[in-house]
Structure 1
Amino acid sequence: MFSFKKNNLKKITSFIRNSEEVQIDNEDKEELIKMIKSTVGIKTKSSDDKNLKIGQSKIGGKPDLPKDFEWPRANEKPMLFCAQYNLSEITRFDKENELPKKGFFYIFLSLNEEWNEFNGIKQPFKFIFSKSENLIRTEFPNDINENQTFKTAVIEYFEYYTIPHWQNYKLFEFDKKYDDFNFYFIEPIEFYMIEELYQDSDNMHQILGHDRSIQSSVVYDFASKELGLYGAESSEYQKRWNDILELSKTYELLLQLDCYDSNTDLTKFGGSGTYYFGLSKTDLENMNFNNIKMSFQMT
């Protein structure tokens, strides 16, 4: 369905080493090349449930769920089904073998009752890992509004690469060393990847890798959630910054879901926002997906 050029990692490393736009010391270039993470890229295409096999990765439509599945609810209302990811389709792009070879990730989100939108602040959600492969295409609950369902977009995965977010703690030393590290390193690489390598997949969807956060790196959001500081007053946030920073180093990005994708209509509740789902490094190593943290960022 989709096609992407191979050997992009070699192209990225060659660009970093040889481009005049990347104006940092050669030894620092090599250190930053080591930070490049293999990532599962996601490309979407508008579709219809009748054209998709049961269990195929998709955003929107009717979910393919185990027969005994209980639809998640919040505030006595059904949550909105947003996406399902078939892990067997991901395996060949999971270079570090960080995910199960089989099973499914499901994402259900709830609406802010006051504004009838997604907002991420104390928003109930369900990120579900299911090993069951005995699935049926499931009808929506009778009490869900028609407007609270989403059109179908099929997902295809591809080999992708990410670098740390420019505000991520991993880049603090480089940012101190160079007056405008973002301009001389981050921006040229991101522009090169979008314009030269992945121009046909310019969205914020991905699985694993470094976060591509709209605002500050979401690892700080995951940590602040753990500490009960997510959405707290800035003064309280700054007071606990050292705690947030240290805890953020224990978190990894698991998945990004982009609401601002023209092949879906998640934007009707999520606007230009992206959902980020993360977990502790220990949980990822143990493939434990029961303590997922969620963050929502908008432009």
Structure 2
Amino acid sequence: MKRIQFFLLIFCLILSGCGKRYTNNNGNEEVSSVMDAKSDILSMFREAGLEDYSETFQRMIKPSIRLITERESEKKSKVGQTKLGGQPDLPPNIEWPYWKQYPMSFIAQINLQEMPIIQTDNDIYPTRGIIYFFYTANPEAAYEEGDYDNNPETSKVLFYDGEIKNLVRTRPPKELSNELQFFSARVAPRLEWTVPDSESFEVNEVLGLSWGDEDNEKYWKVFQENFSNKYKEGHTSEFHVGMNRLFGHHDPVQGEHMGEGWRLLLQIDSEDSTNMDWDDTGRVYFWVKDIDLKKLRFDGVTTIREGS
């Protein structure tokens, strides 16, 4: 019964985004009214008693692309389309990535031309090419290798900006066990606003709202809670709702954050649709440096995994 209720909830979330339109690279959609919500979020921030910080905070309200997933067989998915799990569509000259003796699991391929355009005054996001995400998901590597945690070499992010017709659907190595090969899931992208968590570098260091301060309590007890209830669909659900997202601020499980100059590239949640389970409904975060993202360089991406 819980599984049925879960899928009904996901179906409702997808339907709730149907009226929210955005501009994407093929020009078939209109500019999203979601972008107009930024002023409402700033008003919510001021009403929480944080008016003195509003000028700095308004630059921290960042758009994100929520990735709503639905399981889809490999046979139905088109080569080069955005998807989580399954088998990647790689250029023929790309070898499957390993960390040490461990073949990495394929996590996602994001075709940026299928994503909403979310350029803002403060940020410029890439709008072309395909980004591929691989990660060493093997529990033996995670628990037995002393240099596993926060090691940028345990993940691999690749970028391709060529013709789709040149891509080849690629099977994983035989050494990669079935439980580390995730279900293929199609993606419905939806634009959302995000704000930094109360324990983040942006709130603690840039705004100067240190943990335990009265204004910090206003941020997380009043503003952040009100924001999440209104703008983070699935936040109030009694069931676990997957929060996969591209760009924006991450949704922390245990409160770990990267510092200045880093931004979220991709957040992957535990979900039935992909059969991904990161340490009991945890999440995996791919972080990239600002300067590297502008140059479309992904060799320095660092991955953090948090379990609940």
- Over 3 Å counting, the alpha-carbon distance change for 1:189 and 1:18 in structure 2 is closer
Contact kept, 8 Å, 2:62 with 2:248, in 1: the verdict is yes
In the alignment, the residues of structure 2 paired with residue 207 and residue 198 of structure 1 have an alpha-carbon distance, to the nearest angstrom, of 21
1:190 to 228, 236, 239: 228
In structure 1, the residue matched to 2:25 is: none
Q: CA deviation at 1:195?
A: 5.1
Which deviates more from structure 2 when the two are superposed, residues 151-160 or residues 208-217?
208-217
Distance 1:94 1:298, change over 3 A: farther
Residue 70 of structure 2 corresponds to residue 45 of structure 1: yes
Query: What is the aligned partner in structure 2 of residue 180 from structure 1?
Result: 217
> Does the Cα contact within 8 Å between 2:38 and 2:61 map onto a contact in 1?
no
CA shift for structure 1 position 94 = 5.0
In 1, are the aligned partners of 2:85 and 2:182 still within 8 Å (CA)?
yes
Q: How far, CA to CA, are the matches of 2:62 and 2:149 in structure 1?
A: 29
- Please tell me whether residue 121 in structure 1 is matched to residue 149 in structure 2: yes
In structure 2, the residue corresponding to 1:218 is in which secondary structure?
coil
Residue 168, structure 1, aligned to residue 200, structure 2: yes
Choose the corresponding residue for 2:245, options 187, 200, 206. 206
Matched, 1:111 2:138: yes
Q: Cα gap change, 1:59/1:71 in structure 2, threshold over 3 Å: closer, same or farther?
A: same
Is residue 278 of structure 1 aligned with residue 306 of structure 2?
Answer: no
Contact 2:83 2:186 in 1 (8 A): yes
| SS of residue matched to 1:277 | strand
Q: Letter of the aligned partner of 1:178 in structure 2?
A: D
Q: Of residues 255, 263, 266 in structure 2, which corresponds to 1:255?
A: 266
Contact 1:218–1:295 (8 Å) recurs in 2: no
Residue 216 of structure 1 pairs with residue 255 of structure 2: yes
RMSD in angstroms over aligned alpha carbons? 3.3
CA distance in 1, matches of 2:76, 2:234: 32
Letter in 1 for 2:179: N
Structure 2 length-normalised TM = 0.75
Are residues 23 and 74 of structure 1, via their aligned partners in 2, closer, same or farther at CA, if it must alter by over 3 Å?
closer
**Structure 2 residue corresponding to 1:287, chosen from 288, 296, 299:** 296
SS, match of residue 132 in structure 2: strand
Identity %: 23
CA change 1:195–1:94 in 2 (3 A) is: same
Q: Which residue of 2 aligns with 1:97?
A: 124
Distance apart, 1:161 and its partner CA:
0.9
Equivalent of 1:138, from 153, 170, 180? 170
More displaced 10-residue stretch of structure 1: 173-182 or 157-166: 173-182
CA distance, structure 1, for counterparts of residue 145 and residue 197 of structure 2: 24
Which deviates the most, 191-200 or 36-45? 191-200
TM-score, normalised by the number of residues in structure 1: 0.77
Provide the residue aligned with 2:6 in structure 1: none
- Residue 291 of structure 1, CA deviation: 0.8
Cα distance in 2, alignment partners of residues 135 and 37 from structure 1:
33
Q: Distance in 2 between matches of 1:125 and 1:18?
A: 38
* Closer, same or farther: CA 130–271 of 1 in aligned 2, 3 Å: farther
Count of residues paired in the alignment: 268
Separation in 2, partners of 1:147, 1:202: 22
CA distance in 2, matches of 1:149, 1:285: 31
Cα shift at 1:75: 3.4
Asked if the contact 2:192/2:231 (under 8 Å) is kept, the reply is no
| Contact kept? 1:106, 1:129, Cα under 8 Å | no
1:132, CA displacement in angstroms?
A: 3.8
SS of structure 1 residue aligned to 2:43: helix
